[in-house]
Amino acid sequence: MAQAPPTRPSLLVRIRDAADHRAWSQFAGVYAPLIYGYARRRGLQDHDAADLTQDVLARVARAVRAWEYDPRRGTFRGWLFTVVRRELLDFQAGRDRQPQATGDTGVLAYLSQQPAPDDGADAAWEHAYEQQLFAWAAAEVRPRVEPHTWAAFWRTAVEATDTKTVAADLGITVAAVRLAKSRVMAQIRKQIAHLELEPTGGS
């Protein structure tokens, strides 16, 4: 997998700057559907799941300004999952889920005190994260490739259609289908690596 330069700031560092709209767009593009989908799977209606998603993103926006990466505590998405679970429990208990005036330090303290629930705490969350990350990267890459190239990739890599069948349907060779699949997958991997969701510990 292609790697972004180690000195490039991670997305989590970039979103500390509220004016970095591109960073926030990328962050929301990956995490908002993840949070929303989790809430929906836990029984929330569309409107409530959307509200919970906005509440979580607002809390992250405040807390991340002072958040420091500590690999001993696991990944950021593990901490995020803890916040999402707390919001969901608050909602289900009927408590007021609106951000409090002192939310900046409160949320930060809460994040720092919680161990990341990565170790099997919710495999569905991790699986959904991987799926959403792939979906985001694929959506970024798709406009950059020719339609028949995308079709060859999608049908073989995602839909698991036989290569010979796809080649016949698209009127291209089997080798061309395999090359298209390889090239698009490489672009998707590069897109994911370039995003750098998690800090690497370097400066």
Q: DSSP assignment of the chain, as one string?
A: -----TTSPPHHHHTTSTT-HHHHHHHHHHHHHHHHHHHHHTT--HHHHHHHHHHHHHHHHHHTTT----GGG--HHHHHHHHHHHHHHHHHTT---SPPTTHHHHHHHHHHHSPPTTTTT-HHHHHHHHHHHHHHHHHHHGGGS-HHHHHHHIIIIIS---HHHHHHHHTS-HHHHHHHHHHHHHHHHHHHHHH--S--S--
Q: Please list, in sequence order, all residues whose beta carbon lies within 8 angstroms of the beta carbon of residue 9, skipping any fewer than 6 positions away.
A: 196
Check: pTM over 0.85? Answer yes or no: no
Of 89, 77, 75, 81, which is closest to residue 38 (Cα–Cα)?
81
pLDDT(201) > 70: no
Per residue in 135-167, pLDDT (tens digit) is 999 999 999 999 999 999 999 999 999 999 999
pLDDT(7) > 90: no
CA–CA dist 81, 39 (Å, integer): 11
Per residue in 82-114, pLDDT (tens digit) is 889 988 888 877 744 445 443 444 444 444 444
**pLDDT value of position 105:** 46
pLDDT(129) > 50: yes
